[in-house]
Amino acid sequence: MVYAANAMIDGPDSRTLSSTEEPKEVGDTYHRPHLFLVLEAHRPLAPPARVSLAKLDELEIGRGSPRQMEATNAPSARRLTIRADDRRMSSTHARLGKLLQRWVLDDAKSKNGTFVNGIRTTRDELEDGDLIELGQTFFLYREALPCDPNDPPVLDRTALRPAAPGLATVLPQLHRVFERLVPIARSTISVILEGETGTGKEVMARALHALSGRPGDFVAVNCGALPKDLVEAELFGHKKGAFSGATEDRLGLVRSADRGTLFLDEIGDLPAPAQAALLRTLQEREVRPIGGTRSIAVDLRVIAATHRSLERMVAAGAFRADLWNRLAGHKVELPPLRARREDLGLLAGAILARLPPDQAARIQIHPRAARAMLRHDWPGNVRELEKCLGTAVVLAGEGGVVELEHLPPAVQRALEGLTAEEAALRDELIALLKEQGGNITAVAKAMGKARMQVQRWLKRFGIDPTRFRR
Ligand SMILES: Nc1ncnc2c1ncn2[C@@H]1O[C@H](COP(=O)(O)OP(=O)(O)OP(=O)(O)O)[C@@H](O)[C@H]1O
């Protein structure tokens, strides 16, 4: 049975694919192994894909054009073949198979080799977060990804059409968060967006406004950047002569957003008097300009954003609890880019697609540059990725190939050592080995992991446990 790139392996044959194996359950969430096709470096505009491994016994990856997912339901094995449009891949490049509940990657005598975390390998027992490189195509393996039993086993192009720009993701849980935003957007419920700088809070606020159907404007206000003594005048407007410098009547930002959306960025920076005035406006649905004698009705929808936890600020008395309650009708936490590495290709594609079409179509990323990008931690999140690609594309020039040296030094350095996550894990292992006198079983117990897993990590980080023996 052959499916086009956008088809799913469920469908008429879904029963034959259904598994007797129950997914791992942790709390209320299902966790299943997944393989993500994150990026085709030679054509970064190509959409990513996601495959759930839960109902499969084998997966084969090889060259084929156009990209295809081909399911074979032999009685003994539930197989899926991924054909990727990559001329550096061999026709059968690598296989994934299950061995004692673990997924093992075997190179199928490929011409250009199989790489896991940048190291050439012929066979590798996969671990959570492993970056697999076949030809110029990059995959991420996730051992136990939170998902829903109803999620499609294969997700590709069609399922990646977001309701609004900025609401696309290949991650099942984040996809559900984004999906829930569609009915929320159409209501007047206030929304709080939390996330580190550059995670896309304003992009999301604009998406909510676009989906809301509200006829007024989207008005973005950076609460931290308003001049301190003019915060209220800027927000609520003023009458001519209300204070020195008020040479004319001003509408104010709140009224500019009438029948539209007021986006209050860095809401945690709003001074206490302005918090009180905003609360009054939200409760009474009217604004009184500074120096004015009467209030004016406003039809307001507020979306607030913060890079800090407002709940913690409320608990510390630094932010009004009653205002927080008004604003937090629905809360969304936008994950940092390092926690959604699976979306890196999708986001890079969205950013590159803003270039003129003929230039966008020419862009290629050299595999070494792609590897560095997939290992980098992106402390500046999507904004950092956007800047990095913007410069790299200019440096790549006419040729259009983004090389490692076109990337900022911080991204280049990601190729040299461990990622922050790996370094933290290595440090934890070393600390526990010291504490437990090199006893691997005790270390595994302390970490709540299998002994085998700890041994694999020791091998990966080149740590000799015997040097910790007392
Ligand atoms: N999903 C996305 N697709 C494409 N570009 C994105 C996406 N999310 C964010 N960006 C880009 O990243 C940059 C930062 O996004 P945005 O300003 O929305 O982040 P933010 O969380 O509001 O940042 P800050 O907290 O610093 O205000 C923007 O230039 C935006 O275009």
ipTM, interface predicted TM-score of the complex: 0.99
Q: Residue 351 CA: which ligand 1 atom is closest?
A: 4
Residue 306: pLDDT over 70? yes
Using DSSP's 3-state secondary structure scheme, residue 238 falls into strand
Alpha carbon distances (Å) from 330 to 96, 181, 325, 385: 41, 9, 10, 28
Ligand 1 pocket check: which of 45, 169, 202 to mutate, most ligand atoms within 8 Å of Cβ? 202
Instruction: Say if ligand 1 is within 6 A of residue 268 CB.
Output: no
Instruction: Say if ligand 1 is within 6 A of residue 266 CB.
Output: no
How do 49-52 and 94-99 pair as beta strands? unpaired
359-400 pLDDT per residue, tens: 999 999 999 999 999 999 999 999 999 999 999 999 999 889
Q: Residue 265 CA: which ligand 1 atom is closest?
A: 27
142-172 pLDDT per residue, tens: 999 988 888 888 887 666 778 888 899 999 9
Q: What separation in Å is there between the alpha carbon of 64 and the centre of ligand 1?
A: 35
203-248 pLDDT per residue, tens: 999 999 999 999 999 999 999 898 888 888 889 988 887 787 778 8
Instruction: Say if ligand 1 is within 6 A of residue 133 CB.
Output: no
pLDDT band at 28 (very low <50, low <70, confident <90, very high): low
Q: What separation in Å is there between the alpha carbon of 166 and the centre of ligand 1?
A: 9
Q: What separation in Å is there between the alpha carbon of 384 and the centre of ligand 1?
A: 9
Confidence (pLDDT) at 215? 97
Alpha carbon distances (Å) from 84 to 7, 59, 94, 210: 14, 13, 12, 35
Using DSSP's 3-state secondary structure scheme, residue 142 falls into strand
Instruction: Say if ligand 1 is within 6 A of residue 194 CB.
Output: no
pTM of the predicted model as reported, rounded to 2 decimal places? 0.85
Instruction: Say if ligand 1 is within 6 A of residue 350 CB.
Output: yes
Instruction: Say if ligand 1 is within 6 A of residue 345 CB.
Output: no
